[in-house]
Each structure stands twice: as structure tokens, then as C-alpha cells.
A and B are shown apart, each in its own frame.
Chain A
Amino acid sequence: MVGITSYGAYIPRYRIDRGRIYKAMGWLNPATYMPGEKAVANFDEDSVSMGVAAGIDCLTGMDRKEIDALFFATTTSPYKERQSAGIIATAFDLRPDIRTADFTDSVKTGTTALLSAYDAVKAGSAKNVIVCAADCRVGKAGSSQEEIFGDGAASIMIGDSGVIASLEGSYSVSYDFVDHWRADGEIFDHQWEDRFIRDIGYNRFIIEAISGLAKKCKLDVKDIAKVAYPCLYAGDHKGIGKKLGLDPAQVQDPMLNNVGYTGTSNPLMLLVGALEDAKAGDNIVVVSFGNGSDALLFKVTDEIEKVKGNRRGIKKHLAAKRELTSYEKMISFRNLIPVEKGIRGEVIPPTALSELWRSRRQVLGLCGSKCKVCGTPQYPVQKICVKPDCGAIDQMEDYLFADKRGHLFTYTGDMLAFSMNPPAIYGIVDFEGGGRYWFDMTDVDQESVKVDMPVEMSFRKKYIDAKSGIHGYFWKAIPVIG
């Protein structure tokens, strides 16, 4: 049996009330009004960092050394040439003898990556494949995309043992359907008129894919516990269900009201949402949209009980929210308006990529060392043990800090350092099990940060060196989620 063996998700902590966006820009296009709120990636988040966060959730209790492939799906890669999956695999500290690939250029590819993972495991070329999908798409000021697009990520592990939902079948359609597009080097999507997207796009391809799947798998739609499919338009999302003869209870909430349309990761996030409420025997159909559609049928097994409740998934991330009270902050986070960083803020020292290469596990994986003589964990990797009465030389073994919690030894909120979300809060973390180091903090404000507060580590974008085209990633301390 091949199918899902684990799942995880990530929703950035910041949510903005769409009323704020409309208040700022609604004057331009009054028809863009939309209810609800959407998730907004912090200034130091992007698709890669959110993909890592969802993947870490998915990896809970899983053996990272047993993973044979990592596929990452996104339409918002930080790099045109430097594989995001490779960055993510290093952040997870996976083995080097694995297969990594990015699935990109269409918001459909989250499910395509899932199918490829399934094919690999089914064919025996991999035992466990982790799929991460994330998107962080932006809309022009005053556009409906600006209101509807939300940020988020999901991760699904595909394997052949401990399967919690087996893949029973799939049906795909592929069309060069150009409802929206973004050329190389562009930041914003172009979009054809809504009526075209609704009537020829969502209403036709999603129904075609689901009908094709049902026919192929000899499945009566009445026997499906949950159908998870995306749609930009809340009204048409309902309408598609109706056309398919689905009871509203069978339709997975598309999260348009509380997260927004999250592009590539959307179908996978909906799938995670469906799995959180699933029970053994349930049929779950997940469908994507974008230049066609993939529809996948999963059957939930008894094993689901071992995973349920052990992931943050959608529910706990939805609950861990902070309101973003400024539209201007939202667009500044995405670099959509030039902001005054001051000369200090403009200083970007060079990145030595040969340094990054030899320190990649320490930097991207937050892997330190542990002294085999005295047992002291230490970061970064030391050759000579830092414990004063030990000092053993070259007696270190690898020690992962990324998955350790800690408490905040001390902190400050710095107004002199440039931060896109001032003050720049940083502090020293004492890790559970030993080890201490200083880190930037994020997703926290001056009022809530306290000495001794519990923290965990989060993979974030540390800097962008636009002149050299380098996105620097590292780990920051955050308040423990949930």
C-alpha cells in the first residue's frame, strides 16, 4: 500500500483583515471588496521558509534519515537557478544521497509533486518522499489578488509503511489555459477576466477532473467523505459542489475567509485540513487547479489515529494568530514599496558561498556538535569542547538544534538595528538538553517577550543581498506555537 504517511502545514502568524486592505486601496477598484482575513507571511518569510515550517510539522516523529526524496512545489521560488528543494533538504538535515526537485510554474504542481512522489514509491525507487508546497504570491495595490491571495504551506509524506491514507487513484487534465500568467522576471500575475476564469476554468476543469476520477475509480460522489478543491471565488466554490451533487458537509472549507488563496500549497493545505477530521475508511478527494487539474482519491486507514492530534496542521496554526494592523506593513514586508532603511540598513556584507558550503549543515540545518566526552551540546560546531573543565579535542558528534526547544535567557528590542518589523528583537537561547547561542527573534513583539519564555526555532530569511542575488537563510527563535 502506498500513500500518505504523515502530514503537516504552516500558516504564518500574521493575519490582516481584508477591510484594512480595502480601506487603503478600495478607492481604486471599489468592486474588489471581500470579507474575512488573510494570512500574511512575515517580512522574513517566503515560500522556502514556509515550506520548511510545514515540512518540520510533517516530520514530527518521523526518521529524517529514512527520507529518499524531497519535492517542493511553488510558483514563488526565491531563485530562478538554485534549487529550493535543495535548500529545504539541507534545512531538514536530510541525507545527501536523495533526489530533490522543484515543481513549479503552475499553481497546480502541488498535486503533481504528490503524484510524482507516489509514482516513485510505487515504482520502488524511493521508500519515503516528502512533498512540501508553499506560495507567497502578491497582488498589485488595489487588485483583487491583493485581497484574495494568502500565504501558506503544506507538507505530505508519501511512503509504503504506516500509511494513513492510501492513494486509490488519480485523474489529471492538462490544458494550456491562460487565465493568469506571470512572465520571467515579473512580480505580479496578469489575469484575464473573471467570467472566463470562473466559467471555463474552475467550473469546467475541476468538475472534469473529479468526474473523470469518479468514473475511473468507480466511485459514487456520495461515498466521498470530503472533497477538497480550490477556487478563487467563494460563490463558484459553492456552485461547483452543487453541480457535482455534493452535500455542503462533503466540501472542505477552502479557507478563503481566514487564510486566502494560497496558490500551489492550497490543495495540499485543504487535504491536511480534511485529514485532521478524517476517520478510517473515509474517501478524500483532493483537486488542484492551474493549466488544468489533478484529482487524487485517498482512502483513510486506521493508522490515521497515530498521527491525528500530533501535528500542528491547519487547526493549530489557524489558532496561533496575530493581527497585522497595518496595510503599509503588509506591502513593506513584500518589498512592494521602497522604504527608508537608512545607511545602516543598506549595509549588506558579502556572502562567502564557499563558507556557506562548508558550514551548510550548521547554517541551514542548525546542526551543532555534542562532546562525546562530557555530553555538552554546543553551537556552532566546535573542535575543542567549550565546557571549561572538559576541553576535549575532536571528540564531537553531530547534534541537531533545529528541533530543540529552549528558553529565552535574555533579550532586547533594538531600534538602532534596521528591521522591517522594528524593533529588532534578539536574544540568547538556552536549549533544553544543553547548549546556548544568540539568535534573532521573530513573530514576537516587545510587549510579549519575556525572560525565560519558551521558544522554538524557525527557519527564516535572514537577508537579501539584491546586488549579488543572494537570499540568506538562517534560524530564528520564535514563541512556541500553540
Chain B
Amino acid sequence: MADGIKDKVAIIGMGCTKFGERWEMGSEDLMVEAFQEAIEDAGIEKKDIQAAWFGSCFDDVNVGKAATPLSLALKLPFLPVTRVENFCATGSEALRGAAYAVASGAYDICLALGVEKLKDTGYGGLPEMSSAMGTKNRLIFPGITAPGGFAMMATRYFAKYGISPEEGKKILAKVSIKSHKNGVKNPKAHLRREITEEQVLKAPMIAWPLGLFDCCGVSDGSAAAIVCRADMAKNFRPDPVRIKAMQIAISSGEEMMYTDWDGTYVETATRCAARAYKEAGIKNPREEVSMMEVHDCFSITELVTYEDLQISPRGKAGDDVRDGFFDLDGKIPCQPDGGLKCFGHPIGATGLRMMYEVYKQLQGKAGERQIKDPKIGLTHNMGGFPAMNLISVSIAGL
């Protein structure tokens, strides 16, 4: 009987570049930057790594296909390297691949690294995705963008709970304001300034009802993790971070093609979180989770995620937001590093960047944004649109 991944794998080193408009740096440079920090942090050498998982999503504006870009950039000595891509959860998928390889007993030490160079498109937002959807969807999908796909969830959420757009936008504004406040404290974040409610509400509309500050930044960046067998982790450092759960869930099509889903939550996230809590042995997430890094690609995503992760009751996340429950000094700080909101979302790197913050917080090394004595950290990484997506939920602890 399979018993999951809990406590079988530990993270012993992590690296994360400064995220931002890295005009002077190529993907290869970013990969080396993240990798160097990770192996130095782990206290290992390149030759100690036995296999690697490489995450990158939009390969045409990044490094191209296959795993060779990683192997070539890092000069990995003919290692087994696998490239993974799973939309915006690509970074988490790289980590999952490496962790499961270690858990399987196939390897002792593996590398997971993700990179994305979004600023080589020449325009704002994620790369135009109609050609990334396959030959048939290209003929029938609407001209959808990421903000539009998530805005439709806000429209539905407001309609179901009888929230006026004005009221709804004020709740969402608080989500973004909180993340910006945290981002100021993080030298690796892309956007490092506080914002006001007035700024948020007056910002240009991107996809109704989401305005500019409801949307995360668009950046270049890379992040990496070194994982090893949990039983050998303390040979490398006194404070390794253990993986408690690592789950993903993918849409079956029923949200988009069947009429039961009500559009105010993410079905995959709900199921994925339940699975992850079970794997980690968490009974009451609202009491047991110390901190979260969730996929705040848009403010509405973060709001709904509070509910999908069973932290806030359905329809009540707004109350917790108003109460400061997710603030840095709240009960469960969310996005202590600034989140996608301030880091931007270099897709291949994001999931690993989330885990980087969990790792640093658990080790007590998060500097001026350090949370008091966190025990359990959670990352939630989402790819696709609410109506058709994939979710990764990972839980880690000391």
C-alpha cells in the first residue's frame, strides 16, 4: 500500500535569483545564478547531484525545448535530466519530479530548477497563448488571456455572494495591498513599493473587474532546490526542510463542459488540498498551517484559494482579509515574500520560488519579514484557468 511522500525527502539547499526585468541577463545566466546559490546553500558540489528536473513553460521565448538548456548552462556531467512543463505549475512539477525520484530510492540527491524569461516577448502579460493550446483549441477557444480567464471567476464570485463590483474590488484591493507591503521587505522581489486602496481602485481596467493592481507582475527569474533522502539530510545541514506532502490535481473537463461547477471556486484546488492535508496528516488547516505562498496570479485567485485550501469558509474569505488574518502579523501570513504580485510570474521558476520562501521562513532566515516560529508552510501553484487547470499543493515542515 502506497503511503505517500511524507518525511521521505528533505530540501537541503535552495537558490532564487532576483526576479524582475532582467534585460541584461539571459535564461542561462539566471539558471547559473539560482543554481550557485542552491549548491552553496546545500554545501554540495555539482558532482554530488545524481539527476535533475528542469521546468520551463513558454519555450519559444525562453530557452527552447528539452532538458539540454539546463544541462548545457550548468555543464552537468551527462546527468539524467528531465524537462517538465505543466503550465504555471511548472516550477512545482520540477520539484515534484526530483522529490519523487529521491523518494523512490532511485537517487540520493537531485536538483530541481525552473527558469522563465517572460520579458523577451516585447509586450506585457504572459505570452499570447493561442498557439500553445493545440491545433483544435486554436480554432474554438475564445481569445482568452490569463487575466480574462480569472476575471470570469471574480464575476461569478460577486454574482453568487451578492457582492457589488465596487465592494468586491475593495476586498480584492486588500489582498494586493497586503502583498505589496510584504514585497517591500524582500530584496529579491520585482515590485517593491506599497500601494494604496485608492491606487488600486483607480488603476486601469485589465479584464473587468480586475484592474492593474489585481494582476501580478511579469518578470524573469529562476529558482532551484537540492533535495535528498530525509535520513541523510542532517549530514548537510542542521535545519533541512522536510517535504510533508506534494500533490497535484488536474481538471477532468467537467468544470468547463458539465454544468455542476458554480465557478466561484477551483475544483482541482479543493481536491488537491484535501489530498495534501491527508498526506501531511493535517486535520485542521486553519489551526495547523503556519504560513502560505499561494498562486496569486490575480487577487481573485488568492481570495478563492483561501477557501479552496479550507482556511476560510466558502464565501467568507473576504472577512478574513478584512480582519488581517493573512497579513504578515496575522494568524496565517500569506505571501510573506510578496507573492506573484510582487515577484511576477516567470512560470518555470514560480513554484520553486514559493518553496524558497517556505524554506527560508521555516529555517528562520527570512530577515525582516520573518514570521514567528513557523512549523508548517504550504505552497499552492496553479496553471491554466479556473475552468480548466491544474493545481499543485506542497506542504513542508522542519
Contacts and interface: CB of A to CB of B under 8 A. Distances in A.
Given A412-B208, A428-B387, A351 B148 contact: no
Contacts of A103: none
Contacts of B209: 412
A474 B140 contact: yes
Interface in A405-462: 409-419, 423-424, 426-428, 430, 434-440, 446, 451-452, 462
A414 B147 contact: yes
Contacts of A434: 259
B136 A342 contact: no
B12 to A, nearest CB: 40
Contacts of A427: 152, 155
Nearest to A353: B135
Interface stretch (B31-39, B97-105, B116-124): B116-124
B206 A438 contact: no
Contacts of A446: 208
B155 A382 contact: no
Nearest to A475: B140
Interface stretch (B249-257, B353-361, B363-371): B249-257
Given A386-B254, A410-B155, A416 B206 contact: yes
Contacts of B155: 410-412, 427, 451
Interface string A391-414: 000000000000000000111111
Interface size class of A (residues with CB under 8 A): 35 or more
A428 B371 CA distance: 41
Contact of A412 (B138, B148, B159): B148
A333 interface: no
B152 A411 contact: yes
A446 to B, nearest CB: 6
A419 B258 contact: no
A414 B211 CA distance: 10
A462 B253 CA distance: 24
* Interface pairs A-B: 7 shortest CB-CB: A349-B131, A412-B151, A414-B148, A426-B142, A352-B135, A355-B135, A347-B128
Interface string A344-368: 1001011110011001001100000
A475 to B, nearest CB: 8
A362 B137 CA distance: 11
A417 B129 CA distance: 10
B152 A437 contact: no
Interface stretch (A141-149, A207-215, A278-286, A372-380): A372-380
B207 A415 contact: yes
Contacts of B207: 412-417, 423
Interface of B: 121-125, 128, 130-131, 135-136, 138-145, 147-148, 151-153, 155-156, 159, 204-210, 252-254, 256-260, 263, 387
A451 B254 CA distance: 20
B257 A379 contact: yes
B148 A426 contact: yes
Contact of B159 (A417, A424, A451): A451
Nearest to B125: A416
Interface in A309-357: 342-344, 347, 349-352, 355-356
Q: Which of A414, A438, A474 has the most CB of B within 10 A?
A: A414
A386 B258 contact: yes
A424 B254 contact: no
A136 B387 CA distance: 37
A379 B257 CA distance: 7
A363 B128 contact: no
Given A380-B140, A410-B156, A388 B254 contact: yes
A436 B139 contact: no
B141 A438 contact: yes
A35 interface: no
B101 to A, nearest CB: 31
A23 interface: no
Most interface-central of A409, A424, A435, A462 (chain B CB within 10 A): A409
B142 A423 contact: no
Given A414-B145, A428-B152, A440-B143, A388 B138 contact: no
A251 B98 CA distance: 81
B120 to A, nearest CB: 11
A409 B131 contact: no
Given A359-B136, A363-B140, A417-B145, A430 B259 contact: yes
Nearest to A416: B145
22 contacts: A347-B130, A349-B131, A352-B138, A362-B140, A363-B140, A386-B254, A412-B208, A413-B205, A414-B148, A414-B208, A416-B124, A417-B207, A418-B143, A419-B143, A423-B208, A426-B142, A434-B259, A436-B258, A436-B259, A446-B208, A451-B155, A474-B140
Given A355-B136, A386-B254, A409 B130 contact: no
A462 B263 CA distance: 26
A82 to B, nearest CB: 16
A96 interface: no
A378 B258 CA distance: 7
Contacts of A352: 135, 138
A222 interface: no
A346 B135 CA distance: 18
B96 to A, nearest CB: 25
A387 interface: yes
A428 B214 CA distance: 21
A343 B156 CA distance: 31
Contacts of B159: 410, 451-452
Nearest to A436: B259
Nearest to B261: A436
A248 interface: no
A382 B257 contact: yes
Nearest to B158: A451
A451 B138 CA distance: 26
A409 B263 contact: yes
* Most-contacted residue by chain B among A418, A436, A439, A440 (CB, 10 A): A436
A30 interface: no
B205 A415 contact: yes
A472 interface: yes
Contacts of A428: 152, 256, 263, 387
Contact of A356 (B139, B152, B205): B139
B346 to A, nearest CB: 18
